Structure 1
Amino acid sequence: MATGPVPAWAAAEPGLSAGDVAAARRLFAAGAYTRLGEVLPLLQAAARSTEQGPAGAARAAGVWVLASQLAVKQGRTGPAGAFAEQAGAAARRSGDPVVLAAAARAAATPLRRTGRTDEALLLLAEARAHLLSGARATAADLEEAGLAALTAAYTAAQAHRPAPARDFAAQAEEDTLRLARHPHTPGRPRELTAGQCALYGIGIHRHLGDIDTALAHARQLRPDRLPTAERRARAATDTARTLLDAGDAAGAFTQLRLVKAAAPLEARRPAVRALTAHVARLRPGLPGLGDFVARTVVSPG
């Protein structure tokens, strides 16, 4: 970030460039949520004031997607939904199916958290169909289509709907195989990979009540091959939840330590703090747990 173009939040007259959005996205991927929270208001102001044409609308959509994702991390479902709506509106103005699908994925989490599962699944299915409607899908189309399918599979599983959850997961795996046949752009980590499918498989099968299969996905996953700190932390979080469901509180604590190692601020998210507190209630005497709770669960100051 320090060697690229001056970001909007540092410019004398704020604008919004693709580099700004990419820099903010890197903050999210690194789990740098405090810094992202500091710069997002400036990016949002820039998105409102400088959006011009399809390209500007796409950049604005990227900002609102990030705002929604950060709100989800903070447990703020209402703002996450509002930001996702703004992302969707900007994405529609862009006319770009990839941007539309990213906005649909952002919208799916607040929708499912507010009981609107059918709406979320329809949005994701339509976004994926739009991406794959052409004669020849690009690598970007396939990647976003697979990510939409994974989000849909998790959404269906959380609503205890096994058939659509498995169907969407299979679609994601198919998209992943197709994407693997495309040349890989150097310097740009791919989000849709077999590892990403395995990561989602942990949560999907856990929500469907199949703990053995969820743990099998966790065992096959290579966290070091996941592209970002945020994804590595997510893998450890989902594995911790699954181990806790299996009655292995000590194993869950090991995974929670991996969450903190991957992205320290992930360990302080409300959902992860609640998970840590649950482990502490079950096994308060685990070595190192007291200090871990003090560092992650207890609010500083």
Structure 2
Amino acid sequence: MERRSLLGAGVVLGAAVVVRPPAARSAEHPAVSDAELAAVRALFAAGAYERLGRLLPLLLDGAEHGVEAGPAGAARAAWVWVLASQLAVKQGRTGAAGAYAGLAGAAARRSGNAVVLAAAARAGATPLRRTGRTPEALALLKEARAHLTAGPRPSAAELDAAGMVELTAAYTAAQAHQTSTARDFADEADQTALRLARRPHAGGRPLQLSAGQCTLYRIGIHRHLGDLDTALAHAARLDAGQLPTAERRARAATDTARALLDADDAAGAFTQLRLVELAAPAEARRPSVRALTAEVAGARPGLPGLDAYLRRTAPGVNAPAG
């Protein structure tokens, strides 16, 4: 049977993981495998969005078949659609992100897995808040959190998912300038992270929630609330080297750059943009980050190295003459 190797696409993941072409998948292996799912997650975490975009259609075909293959198949299908939604957000395709999130939510409900449902809710919240539907986004997140915390002793995976839902809810509320709601959810995430740190984790998918993750989110939360001093204090406190993935390190630098630019420190913002490119070059070329780069160029066109950075990450955007 012909197979397409992720290693052949230039991805080194430490093991030869393959993604089956659609024809072979439909005939012999209709569902997405755990190994395939882990491989494309690794691409996202590394910020390898172009490679992920080339391979993801193969898994989307498998997701359509897998959703009917029982709870486990539905869970894997939901994860694929979550990933597709996250990639669409990175690409600035809000409509596609919402469509994929809707598919993820339906598959997550079929799976009956509260952790999967939480991931789908977080994916759905982003396009909802970007289209001005904050109440719907918060309702979706609150429902997911309730499922995760219904039992007397949530597992480590459930605590991890609950904390990430709380952070997403805090950020969503902050974007809508709901100060008390944003602060409450952020505080709850801090407490959940403390609980998780004391809970043994039996393995499986790596956990996302940590004190560093909470600090990262606080940068954007307080910036949206207009409290730049607190946002920058959290940025100064964050050790980005302790964040687990290139995508997260790039996100930290991007959020810090936005806060610095809002504080009229364009030079500091440019320093952070260079860190974005260092962490994950594809992040620096995303539409929203390119727009941020253009803002920095407009504010301080003569910054050393800016012209070369623009040529690498935002071709067609020229720094105004100083």
User: TM-score interval w.r.t. the shorter chain?
Assistant: over 0.9
Q: Distance in 2 between matches of 1:261 and 1:297?
A: 15
CA deviation after TM superposition for structure 1 residue 183, in Å: 1.6
| Residue 7 (structure 1) aligned to one of 5, 19, 22 | 19
Structure 1 unmatched runs, 5+: none
Contact 1:71 1:77 in 2 (8 A): yes
Q: Name 2:101's counterpart in structure 1.
A: 84
Structure 2 unmatched runs, 5+: 1-12, 318-322
Q: Name 1:141's counterpart in structure 2.
A: 158
TM value normalised by structure 2: 0.90
For residues 140-171 of structure 1, the C-alpha deviation after alignment (integer angstroms, 9 at most, x for no partner) is 00000000000000000000000100010011
Q: Name 1:26's counterpart in structure 2.
A: 42
| Residue 194 (structure 2) aligned to one of 177, 180, 186 | 177
Q: Which stretch of structure 1 is more off in the superposition, 126-135 or 254-263?
A: 126-135
Q: Distance in 2 between matches of 1:112 and 1:10?
A: 34
| Residue 82 (structure 2) aligned to one of 52, 58, 65 | 65
Structure-to-structure mapping, 1:25-174, within 5 angstroms: 25-51=41-67, 52-174=69-191
How many pairs were matched up? 300
CA deviation after TM superposition for structure 1 residue 9, in Å: 4.7
Q: Distance in 2 between matches of 1:263 and 1:53?
A: 37
Q: Name 1:295's counterpart in structure 2.
A: 312
CA deviation after TM superposition for structure 1 residue 184, in Å: 3.7
Residue identity over aligned pairs, in percent, reads: 68
SS of aligned partner of 2:64: helix
Contact 1:74 1:270 in 2 (8 A): yes
Contact 1:9 1:39 in 2 (8 A): no
Runs of 4+ in 1 over 2 A off after TM superposition: 4-15, 184-190
Q: Distance in 2 between matches of 1:190 and 1:97?
A: 15
- Give the partner amino acid of 2:81: W
CA deviation after TM superposition for structure 1 residue 261, in Å: 0.2
For residues 198-251 of structure 1, the C-alpha deviation after alignment (integer angstroms, 9 at most, x for no partner) is 000000000000000000100110000000000000000000000000110000
Q: Distance in 2 between matches of 1:9 and 1:233?
A: 32
RMSD: 1.6
Q: Distance in 2 between matches of 1:73 and 1:19?
A: 24
CA deviation after TM superposition for structure 1 residue 3, in Å: 1.7
TM value normalised by structure 1: 0.96
- Give the partner amino acid of 1:190: L
